[in-house]
Structure 1
């Protein structure tokens, strides 16, 4: 039975690798064709299909935070940068709750990247089932913070690493970046 489980894990890793290559190739075609609509016409596909295939390897959620943001909401929930260390339970809870996200991204979202005051400070993998509250907001099952080396090894096409400058655009609190 252990051999079967091991074989299954190997196949899943191969599939993820192929999805990543396929998505990268699709993004390259979109770029060289001049946009999604041009690529769709070239490939004989609907533009929505092209966009979905670009993202097939997965998505990362970039969350922008500032140090001048209040740290506690009206319900007493701490959010943002807690100042208690990235490995602390308080920071993990602040990093995982509550986000107004689309349920359609539940299977695609693999990574959350936290940017504080224009610098990438932390990245966490999304591991498991999402929790939804009565307001339709999600609590993400995030793992421990990744090191720069782990981030580069697990997501080699991801364009940012810990310590990179990523200035916040006024009014933008989050964005999705393909993996």
Structure 2
């Protein structure tokens, strides 16, 4: 089995922070752990662990957020097509395959790898339902997102991301990891 271990660090623009992810990619699977620090709306730390099942489908995201006044945690799980947040079934998320952790460029990777969006420029748009997690609040909601492959630039590819009126042309490397996400993140390490 081909396994790649990668580390990526990004400047996170909206909250004036930084994030690092330690990623292990296998054929059809991904596990990662990450840490981030942000300053807006208040100083906070985020720690997460992400696991996928076959075909890069999210199976678990465990997140903690620490602020001056509190520590919060979220255990988001997905199995047999059903989602739960801290043990409570979330029928509004059923049908989603992936999580999307706010201000975390890594969680854009799963749909890109599953559909080879970083390998096939100018292919049709793909519409997804995601289990979106806000940071630093850790509120979970359903999010409809569209990914449209636009072009390749050497070993990199540009994919347009759209959700709720927001649009950004994200550059991914040949591993499916974000290099540049305008208005959100810029890679510091490759």
> Structure 2 length as normaliser, TM-score?
0.29
Q: Which has the higher strand share?
A: 2
> Structure 1 length as normaliser, TM-score?
0.30
Tell me which structure has the larger Cα radius of gyration: 1
